[in-house]
Structure 1
Amino acid sequence: MKKILLLIHTLKYLKWPQFYFRLYRKFAKPRVGEEFSGVVPKRNSLWVHTALYSEKITTDLEATFLNSSKKLRFPSDWNNENHSKLWVYNLHYFEDLLAVGADQKYALHIRLINLWMDGNPVGEGNGWEPYPLSLRIPNMLKAWQAGLPLDGSHFSSLYAQASYLSTDLEKHLLGNHYFVNLKALLFAGIIFQNSRWLGLAVTGLVKEIPEQTLPDGANFELTPMYHSLILVDMLDMFNLCRAYPSEQTSKLTLLLETYIPKMLKFMQLMSHNDGGVSFFNDSVDGIAPPKARIESYARALGFRVHKLDTMQTSAIDSMPSGYMCAMSNGNKLIFDAANVGPDYIPGHAHADTLSFELSLGPQRVFVNTGTSQYGLGEKRLVERRTQSHNTVEVDGFDSSQVWSGFRVAKRARVISRSHRVIDDRAVLSASHNGFKKVSGGPIHFRQLELSENSLKVVDAFNGEYGTAVARFYLHPSLKAAINSECLTIIGENFEIKADLKNLQAQLSDTTWHPGFGLSQPNKCLELRFTAEEQSVEFTWKTT
C-alpha cells in the first residue's frame, strides 16, 4: 500500500504527453529512415573551438570516466556494464575528442570511431540509446569543425545516427534529455542540410529554452551541475547558429543571445570561490566542464562574464530558482530556499530544502555530501535524503519523499523567504512545509546570518514533532573536535569556534562524495533539538 501511495503522489505531477509517449515507445520502434547522399560537408571557418575537457582516453586505450579507469578491449567493452551503465554511456559520448590536446590524437580518435562503427550495429546496445546518441553526434561534429579528419564513411554513420535519433526523441522524459536530443538534431540538421531534422530541432528548442531556463538564468532542474552542462549546450548552439546563419534559426539565435548571459550569471552565483559547483541536488565536480573553461568559451563567442563581489556584505535572492546567496569579506554562503525542480521531472532532486554550503575564502567549510552514483540502490537513496544535507531532519522523515533512483512523491514547498543586510550582516531566511505534507509534522523555519567573521544559524518549528536533528557536514580537509562544550574547526588559513553549551551535540564520522565513484572521510556536527527554536553561531579568525 505504501508503494502504491508513493507511486500515486509521483505520477500525479507528470504531464499527459509523458504518459502518451511512454506508451508510444513500446510500439513505435526507432529506425534509420533516411539515406546519406554521399556529399561530404565542408568545415566552416567561423566555428570557434574551445577544449572543454581533460583527457579521458590515453593513446594506449586507458579510459577514465567517473573517477574509474580501465584498459579498453573492443568490441566487448562497448556494452560491458561491470563498472556501471553510466560508465559505458560515457565511453559512447566521445568527449575525449574535445579534450585538451585532442589535436595531437587524431589517429587514436579516428581509430576509436572506426571501432565504434564496427562494434555497434544500428539499433544495438548502449550506443544507440537516445542520450548517448545525442551527446556523441555534436561531439563528433564539433571535433570535425576543429580539424578531426572525418571521411565519407564517418559522415554516413553520423547521418544514420541522426536519422535514428529523430525517431527516438525522449518526450516521455523531457527536461535535459529531450533538450540534448534537440541539440543533436540541430547540429545534424544544419551540417547535413536536412530540413526535417532542423525543423524538429528549432521548433522544439524555441519552446524548450524559455521553459527550461528560468528568468534568473537557472536551468529549471535546479542542479548546479546540470546548469553548467546545459550552458555548454547553449554556447554550442549559439556557436553553430552564428557560423551558419539562416532565417530558420534567427529566432533561436535571439533566444540564445538573451538567455546565455543570464545563465553565466547564475553559474557565478552558484559556484564556490574555488570555482567548483555547489552540491545541491545531483551535483558534483568533474562531470560538466570546469567553470573557467565554460567562461573562456563564452568570452571567445563574445559574451561578457561578470564577477561577483564577495568582499562587500550583500544578500541576494535569486527568486525564480529559489536559491539565495550571502557574501562578506571574501566569504560566500549559498542557501537552498528552492522548491523541488520542475514537478514533472524531479529525477535529479534531493530532499535538501533549506540546506546551505559555505566557503571561507577559497576553502569550502560546510558541504552537502554530494552524489557518488546513479541508478538504483540504497547508497543512491541515502545520498538524496535529508540526512545527507546541511539542514534539519524531523522524526526521521525526509523533507520531500525521494524514493527509488530518480523518484519524488510528496514535495516540500517554500512558503516564506526574505533577504536583507542589517548593519554588517547578510541575513537570509525561509520556511518550508515539507514535514507537514510528508508526515503531518511542523513547518521548518531557518535563518542564516553571515558577517565577515561569523555565521549564525537559527532553526525554529511551528507544530508538533518528536525529534529533530540539524547536521553540518565539514569538508574533509578540515580538522574538528569538541572539547569542554566548544567546537573547534581548523582550516588551512582559519580557525572556527562554536559554543555548544546547552546543545546536544556530537561529531560523527561520515563521508563526502565530490565526484562519481569518490568517497572521502569527513566529519559531521549533529545538533539534536531540545526546544522549538535553536541557534548556533560559528565565529572565525584567520591564522
Structure 2
Amino acid sequence: MSLTTSYRPSFAGGLRQLAKKSPLAGLSIGGLTFGERSPSHLLGTPPELMLGDAATGQIIMAGSLVCGGQRLPLVSMSDLTKQAGEHWLQHLHGFSWLRHLRRTGSLQARRHARSLITGWIEANRQNDAIAKRPEVLGRRLESWLTHFGFLAIDAPNEFTELLLSELAKEARRLAKRAAKGKADADRIAALKGLIYCGIALPAGDNYLHLGLRHLETELARQIQADGGHFSRNPLIHFNVLQELVALRETFKAAHFDTPLWLAGAITRMAPMLRAFRHADGGLALFNGARAGKPTDIDAVLSKADVKGKALSSAPHSGFHRLSAGRTQIILDAGAPPSKDANKWAHAGTLAFEMSAGHDRIIVNCGMPEMAPPDWRQALRSTAAHSTIVVDDVNSSQINLDGGYLRSPGHVTSSRREIDSSTIIEASYNGYNKPFGLTHRRLIMLAPDGGEIQGEDNLIGTGGHRFSLRFHLHPNVQATVLQDKCSALLKPRRGKGWRFTSTDRSIALEESIYFDGNQPRRRTQQIVVFGPLASASEISKWRFSRI
C-alpha cells in the first residue's frame, strides 16, 4: 500500500493544498493550528525501506521481544516486566519491531500485532515517561503509519477507528515536542515522524510545514561539510542516512518534490558511509558504533542512489580511509564530539581498524547495544581501542554521566602520497594536561596493500610508561615468535600477517569484542610496553602480509 496522490505540488511553491481539508481547531504552535478531529482514513502509507526478519517475528509471536541480542517476555502491555531497562522500553514503545511481524506474512502475526497495539493503547502506555520522549513518539508514529496497511487489512472497524484516533492524538503531542527533545540524531527521528504525519494524515499540512522547517535546521547543524554526522559514530551516521532516504522515498511515493537541502544531505552522507565500511560490509567500531547488518547498509546505499567511491579523507568529521589492494585502514583523526552530539562517545583518538579482504584484523572493542554502566565505562576507555595509552589514563577524561571532563583541544592530520604509498600523519594533545605530552601517529600503507608501517611518538617529559595496543578480531589467531618482538596473525580465511615491533618486545593479552551482531566474544590484543624515558619516545611497528 503506497502513498499516492492525484497532484504533484512543489515544496518550492509552498505546502501542498488538499482538495478537502478537515476543520482545524485547538492546538496552536508558532501560529500554526492543528486539527483535533480523528481522521476516518489515511491519505496513504509510507513505503517500507527496511524489511523485517521473519525469524524475529516468530519470536515476538511466541511472547518475547528481542533487543540488543536479549529476549524479554512480552505477554501483556499492562504488565511490563520489571527486568526491562531504559533501552528495551525505548525499543518497545517505538514499535519498530512491527516490521518483523509484517515480514512473517501470516494472519496470525497481523492479529498478534493488533492485539499488542490495542493492549498498549488501553493500558495508557502513551503516558509512560519513555513513551512520551519525542524520538520514541516519532518512531512510534512512523511505524504505525508505515505498517498501517498490514495492520488494517481485515481488521475490525473498532481497531481501525482506535488506531486512527490514537494517530491523531499522538501527532498533536509530537507537534508540541518534536523540536524540544535531545539535540542529537534522535531529534531527526522525531521530526521524521512529524513529517510522516503531515503527509499521511488528512489536514496534516501544518505538521509537514513544522517538521520540514525544523529538519532543515537540524541537518545544517548536524551534517558536516564532508557528509559526516557530528556524532562521529558510524552507526548513528547510517541510521540518520536511513531516515533521510526513507523520507525521500516517501516524498517520491506521494509525488512530492524532494527539498534540495534533503537531497544534498543524502548526496554528502553516502560516500562517508562507504568510508566507514570494511570489506565484510559492516561498519568500523568508533565512538559506540556497532557493525550493523551489511544487507541493511547495502539497501540504504542502493536507495540513496549516490554514485562514487568511499570518501578517503573527511577533514571536518576527522576520519581517514587508506585502501590498497585488499587492505583497508580506517583511522580516527578527529576531535571527540560534544556531549550534545554523542553522549557516549569514546576516548579513542588516533585509534585505527584494519581489514584484509573480508577479514577484520585490527579492531576496537566496540560496544553492546544494551551496555550496563560498568561495561560502558570500560569500553569507552582509551585502552579499549587500537592506539597508545599513557599510565593507564584515558586520552579524554570520561564523564560517567556522558560526555567528557577533559578532551583534546587540538587534533591535526595530513595525508600525502610518496612513491604510490599513502601516508597519514596525525597528532593530538589529549595527554597534555595530565602529562605534558603530545601523541603523534604516522601510518603508511604500501601500494599493493601488503605492508603497513607505523610510528607512534610521545613528545614531552611527563608520564612513566606507555602501552601501545592492537586489538585483534576474534577470528584472528596470534602467536608470539621466539624473538619476542613479532607475532604471526592467522585469520580464519585469507592470508596471514606478521606483526613486528622494531625496537621493543611485545606481549599477548586478553581482550573482548562486541560488534552487535553476536554476543560478547573473547579475543586477544598485541601490546607493546615501554618507559617514557626521553623527551621524544618513539615506537615503530609493521604489519607484513605473509
- In the superposition, the TM-score normalised over structure 2's length comes to 0.84
**Is 1:292 aligned to residue 298 of structure 2?**
yes
Cα distance, 1:457 vs structure 2: 1.7
Percent identical among aligned pairs is 22
5+ residue gaps in structure 1?
1-32, 309-314
How does 1:230-245 map onto structure 2 within 5 Å?
Answer: 230-244=240-254
- Distance in 2 (alpha carbons) for counterparts of 1:394 and 1:262: 37
- Distance in 1 (alpha carbons) for counterparts of 2:124 and 2:244: 29
**Is 1:141 aligned to residue 145 of structure 2?**
yes
Q: Give the aligned residue type for 1:126.
A: I
Q: Match of 1:5? A: none
Deviations 1:84-113 (Å, cap 9, x if unpaired)? 221222122222333472544433322222
**Is 1:278 aligned to residue 279 of structure 2?**
no
Q: Match of 1:84? A: 85
Q: Match of 1:214? A: 224
Do the aligned partners of 2:227 and 2:268 also contact (CA within 8 Å) in 1? yes
Do the aligned partners of 1:358 and 1:365 also contact (CA within 8 Å) in 2? yes
Aligned mate of 2:188, from 174, 179, 188: 179
Deviations 1:312-353 (Å, cap 9, x if unpaired)? xxx932111110010010211000001112464341311110
Deviations 1:495-531 (Å, cap 9, x if unpaired)? 1112346414211111111118831000011111346
Which region of structure 1 is more displaced relative to structure 2, 199-208 or 50-59?
50-59
Aligned mate of 1:471, from 463, 469, 478: 469
Q: Give the aligned residue type for 2:64.
A: E
Q: Match of 2:64? A: 62
Q: Match of 1:26? A: none
- Distance in 1 (alpha carbons) for counterparts of 2:294 and 2:91: 12
What RMSD, in angstroms, separates the aligned Cα atoms of the two structures? 2.6
Q: Match of 1:430? A: 426
Cα distance, 1:354 vs structure 2: 0.2
Which region of structure 1 is more displaced relative to structure 2, 119-128 or 160-169?
119-128
Instruction: State the number of aligned residues.
Output: 492
Which region of structure 1 is more displaced relative to structure 2, 287-296 or 159-168?
287-296
Q: Give the aligned residue type for 2:540.
A: S
- Distance in 1 (alpha carbons) for counterparts of 2:179 and 2:295: 24
Q: Match of 2:541? A: 536
Change (3 A) 1:411 1:148: farther
Q: Give the aligned residue type for 2:406.
A: K
Do the aligned partners of 1:225 and 1:284 also contact (CA within 8 Å) in 2? yes
Deviations 1:279-317 (Å, cap 9, x if unpaired)? 00010034897211222433xxxx234344xxxxxx932
How does 1:102-141 map onto structure 2 within 5 Å?
Answer: 102-104=104-106, 105-141=109-145
Q: Give the aligned residue type for 1:123.
A: N
Change (3 A) 1:288 1:441: farther
- Distance in 2 (alpha carbons) for counterparts of 1:501 and 1:178: 49
Deviations 1:456-500 (Å, cap 9, x if unpaired)? 121002212321111100000111121212211111211111234
Deviations 1:386-434 (Å, cap 9, x if unpaired)? 1110111112221112121422122224432111222242211100011
Cα distance, 1:63 vs structure 2: 2.4
Change (3 A) 1:477 1:396: same
Change (3 A) 1:539 1:404: same
**Is 1:453 aligned to residue 450 of structure 2?**
yes
- Distance in 1 (alpha carbons) for counterparts of 2:150 and 2:115: 17
- Distance in 1 (alpha carbons) for counterparts of 2:464 and 2:152: 63
Q: Which has the larger radius of gyration?
A: 2
Aligned to 1:399, the other structure's residue is in SS state coil
How does 1:180-329 map onto structure 2 within 5 Å?
Answer: 180-192=189-201, 193-244=203-254, 253-286=259-292, 290-298=296-304, 303-308=305-310, 316-329=312-325
**Is 1:497 aligned to residue 498 of structure 2?**
yes
Do the aligned partners of 1:476 and 1:522 also contact (CA within 8 Å) in 2? yes
- Distance in 2 (alpha carbons) for counterparts of 1:490 and 1:500: 18
5+ residue gaps in structure 2?
1-33
Aligned to 1:70, the other structure's residue is in SS state strand
Which region of structure 1 is more displaced relative to structure 2, 103-112 or 220-229?
103-112
Q: Match of 1:13? A: none
Q: Give the aligned residue type for 1:155.
A: L
- Distance in 1 (alpha carbons) for counterparts of 2:373 and 2:545: 39
Do the aligned partners of 1:169 and 1:178 also contact (CA within 8 Å) in 2? yes
Cα distance, 1:245 vs structure 2: 5.1
- Distance in 2 (alpha carbons) for counterparts of 1:81 and 1:160: 28
Do the aligned partners of 1:62 and 1:71 also contact (CA within 8 Å) in 2? yes
- Distance in 2 (alpha carbons) for counterparts of 1:457 and 1:180: 41
Change (3 A) 1:274 1:211: same
Aligned mate of 1:156, from 148, 152, 165: 165
Do the aligned partners of 1:508 and 1:523 also contact (CA within 8 Å) in 2? yes
- Distance in 1 (alpha carbons) for counterparts of 2:411 and 2:133: 40
Aligned to 2:49, the other structure's residue is in SS state coil
Q: Match of 2:176? A: 167
Aligned to 1:127, the other structure's residue is in SS state coil
- Distance in 1 (alpha carbons) for counterparts of 2:149 and 2:216: 25
Aligned mate of 2:438, from 438, 443, 447: 443
Q: Give the aligned residue type for 1:332.
A: Q
Cα distance, 1:359 vs structure 2: 0.6
Cα distance, 1:65 vs structure 2: 1.3
Which region of structure 1 is more displaced relative to structure 2, 96-105 or 383-392?
96-105
Which region of structure 1 is more displaced relative to structure 2, 176-185 or 105-114?
105-114
How does 1:329-408 map onto structure 2 within 5 Å?
Answer: 329-342=325-338, 344-374=340-370, 377-408=373-404
Do the aligned partners of 1:276 and 1:290 also contact (CA within 8 Å) in 2? no
- Distance in 1 (alpha carbons) for counterparts of 2:369 and 2:436: 31
Aligned to 1:166, the other structure's residue is in SS state helix
**Is 1:488 aligned to residue 497 of structure 2?**
no
How does 1:504-523 map onto structure 2 within 5 Å?
Answer: 504-515=505-516, 518-523=519-524
Change (3 A) 1:85 1:144: same
Change (3 A) 1:287 1:119: farther
Q: Give the aligned residue type for 2:319.
A: Y
Change (3 A) 1:63 1:121: closer
Change (3 A) 1:376 1:476: closer
Change (3 A) 1:384 1:135: same
Aligned to 2:312, the other structure's residue is in SS state strand
- Distance in 1 (alpha carbons) for counterparts of 2:91 and 2:407: 31
Aligned to 1:257, the other structure's residue is in SS state helix
Q: Give the aligned residue type for 1:290.
A: D
Do the aligned partners of 1:375 and 1:405 also contact (CA within 8 Å) in 2? no
Change (3 A) 1:376 1:62: closer
